[in-house]
């Protein structure tokens, strides 16, 4: 049975290492009949969360702010799988991804107990460092996030040793790992 996959691309580089991971992941996911939509957050007009807790009053438009999150909300709500894709910035996800993800709280506000929709989740991350210690802060964040949301982690690709844009193109095993993860979804 095919899945609906929503990718939140937190990379500011249109042709960077994270985008290469995404491209290969999509190739694998679509090869097995899945439906994929990718949002390049850097190109979108998304404002930071106001912390107003006034969302959740309109299922079609859950946040009080009216910006490009309106394009993401329907895909997010319909998705079986959410892919968080980001370069590592200061041992965390990019600001673009964090900003958009924070705004997904408006969807949780649609329920009386602020319950987030249950999803499967994947992390795709490119980084300069390539040690387990380098990825430890992101691993802790991601595990905490999925645990608190009640989401199931179904895969992670940590692609280290990729500082310059396009460096990952010289590391076919990392790209193959992303494509294989996409193919594993059915």
Region 40-69: mean pLDDT is 94
Q: How far apart are CA 120 and CA 71, in angstroms?
A: 20
**For 99-117, what is each residue's pLDDT tens digit?**
999 999 999 999 989 999 9
Q: How far apart are CA 72 and CA 65, in angstroms?
A: 13
Determine the 3-state secondary structure of 158 from DSSP.
Answer: strand
Burial class of residue 102 in the structure, from the number of CB atoms within 10 Å of its CB (0-12 exposed, 13-18 middle, 19+ buried): middle
Q: What is the pLDDT of residue 81?
A: 98
103 in Cβ contact with 49 (< 8 Å): yes
Q: What is the pLDDT of residue 33?
A: 97
Query: Is 56 a residue whose pLDDT tops 90?
Result: no
Q: Domains of the chain: which residue ranges?
A: 4-183
Would you place residue 63 in the very low, low, confident or very high pLDDT band (cuts 50, 70, 90)?
very high
Region 40-55: mean pLDDT is 95
Strands 152-159 and 4-9: unpaired
Q: What is the pLDDT of residue 55?
A: 87
Q: What is the pLDDT of residue 144?
A: 96
Closest CA to 72 of 155, 11, 168, 8: 8
pTM of the model: 0.96
Q: What percent of the chain has pLDDT over 70?
A: 100
Q: What percent of the chain has pLDDT over 90?
A: 91
Buried b (16+ CB within 10 A) or exposed e, 6-44: bbbbbbbbeebbbbbbbebbbebbbeeebebbbbbbbeb
Region 7-17: mean pLDDT is 95
Fold (CATH) for 4-183: Rossmann fold (3.40.50)
Region 72-81: mean pLDDT is 97
Q: What is the pLDDT of residue 25?
A: 98
Region 87-99: mean pLDDT is 95
**For 130-139, what is each residue's pLDDT tens digit?**
989 999 999 9
Query: Is 1 a residue whose pLDDT tops 90?
Result: no
Q: How far apart are CA 81 and CA 122, in angstroms?
A: 7
Helix (H), strand (E) at residue 74: helix 69-78
């Amino acid at each position: 049975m095919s899945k609906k996959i929503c990718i939140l691309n937190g990379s500011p580089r249109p042709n960077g290492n994270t985008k290469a991971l995404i491209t290969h992941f999509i190739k694998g996911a679509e090869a097995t009949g899945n439906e994929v939509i990718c949002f390049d957050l850097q190109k979108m007009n998304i404002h930071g969360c106001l912390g107003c807790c006034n969302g959740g009053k309109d299922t079609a438009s859950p946040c009080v702010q009216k910006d490009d999150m309106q394009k993401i909300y329907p895909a997010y709500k319909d998705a079986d799988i959410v892919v968080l894709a980001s370069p590592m910035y200061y041992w965390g996800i990019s600001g673009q991804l964090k900003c958009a993800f924070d705004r997904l709280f408006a969807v949780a506000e649609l329920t009386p107990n602020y319950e987030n929709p249950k999803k499967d989740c994947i992390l795709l991350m490119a980084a300069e460092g390539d040690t387990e210690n380098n990825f430890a802060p992101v691993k802790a964040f991601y595990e905490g996030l999925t645990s608190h949301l009640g989401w199931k982690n179904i895969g992670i690709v940590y692609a280290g040793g990729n500082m310059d844009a396009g460096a990952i193109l010289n590391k076919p095993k990392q790209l193959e790992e992303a494509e294989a993860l996409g193919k594993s979804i059915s």
